[in-house]
Amino acid sequence: TTYQVGYFVGSLSKTSINRVLSRALLRVAPPGLEFREIPIKDLPLYNHDFDADYPPEGRALKDAIAAVDAVLFVTPEYNRSIPGGLKNAIDWASRPWGTNSFTHKPSAVIGASPGKIGTAVAQQSLRSVLSFCNSPQMNAPEAYIQFTPGLFSDDGEVTDPTTQQFLTDFMADFKTFIERVLTVLPRN
């Protein structure tokens, strides 16, 4: 079986280290996972006035999530939480009320920062949001990546074998997790 995975990059920066990390993750992913990015940068700022008539950007987001078996969040930490742009996208996807796109959608979270805690606090914040959105999350392994110069090439080649193995295992475990969740909670 091949599973479709939609991934979110939490940073809108052209030089995002988390985008580099996303490239690395795609490189080391096991066979049987297919990836597409779910873009967030063109979404207006959400408010519930939109619920009566979702704009094309909001519909496209919800359609993109509906089309995949699982979602992967690759995000920076901003002020000990997730970037506003990513939270905005999650808010869009969670509404209109009764149509939350994350219900029963398996997820995993990972992130990179130059600092040693490697987005740990942002990931805890994201996990709270995903819990409320009823997304079954891969709890382990956790993945806090300290982005040091040269650890990845720009196109996501991993230079350090230990990191390469860690990321390879992370993606293999994510595939196993998706399989397990879909056994219990099949897609409609």
Q: Binding residues for ligand FNR, per CB under 6 A?
A: 11, 13, 16-18, 76-80, 113-115
Q: Which two tokens stand for residue 19?
A: 């985008």
Nearer to ligand FNR, 81 or 107 (CB): 81
Residue found by looking up tokens 């909001």 in the block: 58
Nearer to ligand FNR, 94 or 113 (CB): 113
Nearer to ligand FNR, 134 or 148 (CB): 148
Residues 6+ apart with CB under 8 A from 142: 120, 123
Nearer to ligand FNR, 118 or 136 (CB): 118
Residue 134: CB minimum distance to ligand FNR, A: 27
Residue 118: CB minimum distance to ligand FNR, A: 7
Residue 174: CB minimum distance to ligand FNR, A: 20
Nearer to ligand FNR, 46 or 152 (CB): 152
Residue 74: CB minimum distance to ligand FNR, A: 8
Please give the Cα distance from 187 to 42 (Å, whole number).
28
Residue 59: CB minimum distance to ligand FNR, A: 27
